[in-house]
Structure 1
Amino acid sequence: MMDELRDIHGLSDISWLPLADGWLVLLGLSSLLMFFLMYHFFLYYQRRSRWQWSAYQEWQALDPATATDTIQLQQRLQALATLLKRIAIQRYGREKCAGLNGKAWLEWLNTYDPQGFNWQIQGQGLQTYLYSPPQQIDLTTYKAEVTVIYHAVRAWIEV
């Protein structure tokens, strides 16, 4: 009679699968949501990095240190002003800054500048030098002021 007795076996572990249908639907929907969010984040990052890279390459080509005369320096300053406007539109939208010019543009730049650059004082060259006759401009002073603006534009690209 003792030979017929056996040990007591415990219950087997409860399996995680198969889950109930509601849990499977919830798992599928959350997976789709995660894929959707990752895809849109990837597209946003790719679009942003593409325009930043393009702006950075354009900015490098406008280095005032390589300008040989006042006319070439004025052309680079004009291109820097255009690049800065395009970057501002890309970052903040056309409605906020596309129509601004003159003092209003410098005030707006002063307000939104990522590095705290004082455009109303140090960025005056965007207004004065662009339309001045090249014969009336001192090249060394002009080049120094354009270089300051050149480096301030880089801060807009990198942020």
Structure 2
Amino acid sequence: MDPILSPLQQAPQLRDIRDISSIPWWPPAPGWWLILGAVLLIGYAIWRWRTPLSLRVPIPGITLGTWRWDAAAALRDLRRRAQGGQDPKATASELSELLRRIAMARLGRPACAGLTGPAWLEWLQAQDPNGFAWRERGQPLLVAPYAPPGVTAQDLMALIEAAEGWVSAREPKRRRWRRWRSRSASAPAGGGHV
């Protein structure tokens, strides 16, 4: 042996230590698939039942349909004050304003914001999901805020109940889909454009 050679040079050929291959990120482990499925299932349930959830349980941080929650609370408060002896004129004007806000939240501002008087009652009758007779029984909304006393609390209670029906009714189906279906049904048989 040559004394000048280092001990590493004297040893037989050494090889580097090999690393363990890294764990691939795809496909995920079965636990991650279960978590993803649970998140998707919870998301679908919230999306599907958001209206009943928002009416019954106020969930902090989740603002699904908060107008329904607020409107139902305002109607309950209005009912309590009307039963407690609040002036029918004040109750009728508050109910009229609240009903207009509910209608705009349900169907959009362009659909109903400019309607007044009998046209407003006609529109309410046509759009009411529960079929309340707004033309006949909704007159206190138009007359009570401006007329001398004469509106009974029972009339206002019936109107408050009808407004609560608007809040708790399910959303109307999307009109775009109906328009698209009706256009496709009236399209020429060849499917081409004229």
TM-score category, normalised to shorter length:
0.5 to 0.7
What are the equivalent positions in structure 2 for 1:66-145 lying under 5 Å apart? 66-68=84-86, 72-134=87-149, 137=150, 142-145=152-155
Aligned to 1:5: none
Alpha-carbon RMSD across the aligned residues, in angstroms, is 2.8
Could you say which residue in structure 2 is the equivalent of 1:65? 83
Separation in 2, partners of 1:106, 1:148: 15
Matches of 2:157 and 2:142, distance apart in 1: 15
In the alignment, residue 100 of structure 1 is paired with which amino acid?
Answer: L
| Kept in 1: contact 2:88–2:144 (CA 8 A) | no
> What is the aligned counterpart of 1:51 among 47, 64, 67?
67
- Alignment TM-score, normalising by the size of structure 1: 0.65
Query: Percent of pairs identical after alignment?
Result: 33
Contact 2:93-2:144 within 8 A present in 1 as well? no
**Normalized per residue, which structure has more helix?**
1
CA–CA separation in structure 1 for the residues paired with 2:100 and 2:164: 13
Question: Unmatched 5+ residue regions in structure 2?
Answer: 1-25, 27-35, 51-61, 170-194
Amino acid in the other structure paired with 1:148: A
CA 1:114–1:48 in structure 2 vs 1: closer, same or farther (change >3 Å)?
farther
Larger Rg: 2
Residue in 1 that maps onto 2:191: none
Alpha-carbon shift at residue 96 of structure 1 (Å): 0.4
Compute the displacement of 1:98 (Å): 0.7
Secondary structure (helix, strand or coil) at the match of 2:131 reads coil
SS of 2:146 mapped into structure 1: coil
Structure 1 gap segments, 5+ residues each: 1-20, 22-30
